[in-house]
Structure 1
Amino acid sequence: MKEKAPRNRTLTLEESEIPLLKKEVLTIEDLSSFSEEESSGLISKILNKTINADLMVALPLLPDEFADLIIIDPPYNLTKSFGGKVFNARSEEAYDEYLASWFPLVCKKLKKNGSLYICGDWKCTSSLQRAVQKELTVLNRITWQREKGRGAASNWKNSMEDIWFAVKNPDDYYFDVESVKQKRRVIAPYKENGRPKDWEESDEGNFRLTYPGNFWDDISIPFWSMPENTDHPTQKSEKLYAKLILASSRPGDLVFDPFLGSGTASVVAKKLGRSFLGVELSEEYCLYAQKRLNRAEEDKSIQGYRDGVFWERNTLAEQKRQSV
């Protein structure tokens, strides 16, 4: 194994810890044995767990309407390898069929007053919208700046991704805007009677708390010097998911991620006092998730989020220190 640079904090799996991590991850055999119980008994056995299984096999074994919040980061319509398994790009019609094969089944797991977020890029976002609108009520589309990525010589660089926000009942859902306000730097501070107007002075600079919009330019993609980083090719940042979880769930609510990957949704849910459940096909990614969950027992920090406030990228001194 190639030795990492001293500042490279990317999570790795040591041979000695793999057997212990495997014991903490549920298998499809475990889920099958639990599924004969009543819904409440089943939930108690799978609560705060990661299930290593094919989603299409696991879904029928899970009770309906158990999740308060569902966050989905499915394969985009791109050819990409996930844990040695390749998802191949396909026509738009074929991708629509792919979504139709599992998305309605996932929606059945959402409570009547629950919320759902699903991630995508510009190539698949129209397919996502069509799929979501058939099952739920779309309330918004979040677009976030993905500052990491390759340049393009004959096209515009792809530096944005979408997250569709939808609910089962537009008259009954939870949303806490106060929990997701952003602390923004004040460029031209205005004073009234010699006092700051709608902003505050601090040792870290002049800032204003602002209501969040549906364009987010404060997200950092996990990279090699961040302790949350793994070798998963499309890992979402903890800060990104923290916004979704804080806005659309209460403490103690259950967050479900059917494409868990390296565990970001479950890890952030745990750090923020929510319950969680994740399903992931790759055993390697399940082990990454479990190792991150174990670390979250001691370290509940989320880069770019402190004292109940989200900070702009590169404005919080503590945020900078965490990546050194």
Structure 2
Amino acid sequence: MDSKTSEKVRAGRNRTITLSQEEIPELKKQILTFEQLKRLANSSDSKIEFKSIENKTLNCDLLEVFKFLPDEFADLIIIDPPYNLTKNFNGTKFNARSDERYDEYLATWFPEVCRKLKPSGSLYICGDWKCTSSLQRAVEKELTILNRITWQREKGRGAKSNWKNGMEDIWYAVKNPDDYYFDVEAVKIKRKVIAPYKVDGKPKDWQESEEGNFRLTYPSNFWDDISIPFWSMPENTDHPTQKPEKLYAKLILASSKENDIVFDPFLGSGTASVTAKKLGRRFVGIELNEEYSLLAQKRLNKADEDKTIQGYSDGVFWERNAKN
């Protein structure tokens, strides 16, 4: 395979993860192809045992592999599907379409994905302003929506003929609104205190430290502390819509326990699986593009040694630029 990610001329301090021709053969051995999955199933009507795909990247077409995956295996599903935009994913082009046609596209796979969710499981699906109404309609048909998260996507140049798109949505839904897991204590935010308030000379709801004055707060459904991966960040790849590990860490910590199973049917360069691994969860990811699958596997291998998540440490999420 010709790795396009290795052909670019990059600055010396650029930390973007790329593939070299030398490492590709070994990485290929570590992912599962559709032909391998068919052999694991033994017949066209059989389901694969979960242990055969546990902690694996499946390089195949989501629609083709559905029938082989066991039902109700995932505690948490995170989905970052193609938005209703024309976008080239390393040679695979997704074309923008009418809202009706995009609804039809979602219907080809979203109900099947929901069948993979445990009865007590949670699901998050990402989108932008243009496709968020379609996502809401699709989710409401299958699950109970509990909230919509909006996060600040601070990247890119300003638009000249329109407002710059600086926000994205994540719809949060569950199968059973009376039985689901949510740990708000695991996703507290550490914010700088600009105007410290004291009572009887002591800090009120904040703490003094050598690094500054901070307050631990509970998160809302608006997140403004996320940095999009860029060239100097060690998690960065050339994937055009890569999600930050910090973003997915919030979803994983809030809606899964250690050793739970996280499933991403549109894995891309691997953020969901990598973050799940760093946080002690099991995972399964499906990705159509081989190069992205190999990038995901390389990131998973790196996570064996480096479990850091930028913006998350000491059990809390730090406000952007609050900690050096």
Give TM-score, length-normalised by structure 1: 0.96
The CA deviation at 1:35 is 2.1
The CA deviation at 1:252 is 0.2
Q: Which residue identity does 1:12 align to in structure 2? A: T
User: After the TM superposition, which segments of 4 or more aligned residues of structure 1 sit over 6 Å from their partners?
Assistant: 37-41
Does the aligned pair in 2 maintain the 1:182–1:311 contact within 8 Å? yes
Rounded to whole Å, the distance in 2 between the matches of 1:124 and 1:14 is: 36
Q: 1:247 aligns with which of 248, 254, 268?
A: 254
1:193 aligned partner? 200
Rounded to whole Å, the distance in 2 between the matches of 1:302 and 1:70 is: 20
Rounded to whole Å, the distance in 1 between the matches of 2:97 and 2:322 is: 41
Partner SS for 1:278? strand
Tell which deviates more after alignment, 270-279 or 197-206: 197-206
Q: 1:289 aligns with which of 287, 291, 296?
A: 296
Q: Which residue identity does 1:242 align to in structure 2? A: A
1:89 aligned partner? 96
Q: Give the number of equivalent residue pairs.
A: 317
Unaligned runs of 5+ residues in structure 1 are 318-324
The CA deviation at 1:150 is 2.6
Q: Which residue identity does 1:16 align to in structure 2? A: E
Rounded to whole Å, the distance in 1 between the matches of 2:264 and 2:46 is: 19
Give TM-score, length-normalised by structure 2: 0.96
What's the CA shift string for 1:23-72, capped at 9, x where partnerless? 00000111112224999971111100000000000111101000000000
What's the CA shift string for 1:145-172, capped at 9, x where partnerless? 0010231112111000000000000000
Q: Which residue identity does 2:67 align to in structure 1? A: P
Partner SS for 1:128? helix
1:58 aligned partner? 65
| Equivalent residues in 2 for 1:87-166, closer than 5 Å | 87-166=94-173
Rounded to whole Å, the distance in 2 between the matches of 1:22 and 1:88 is: 29
Rounded to whole Å, the distance in 2 between the matches of 1:51 and 1:150 is: 35
Q: 1:14 aligns with which of 9, 20, 24?
A: 20
Q: 1:31 aligns with which of 25, 29, 37?
A: 37
2:243 aligned partner? 236
The CA deviation at 1:17 is 0.1
Pairing 1:273–2:291 present:
no
Rounded to whole Å, the distance in 2 between the matches of 1:283 and 1:40 is: 23
Identity %: 75
Rounded to whole Å, the distance in 2 between the matches of 1:92 and 1:41 is: 35
What's the CA shift string for 1:202-223, capped at 9, x where partnerless? 1111100000000000000000
Q: Which residue identity does 2:14 align to in structure 1? A: N
Unaligned runs of 5+ residues in structure 2 are 1-6
Q: Which residue identity does 1:11 align to in structure 2? A: I
Q: Which residue identity does 1:96 align to in structure 2? A: D
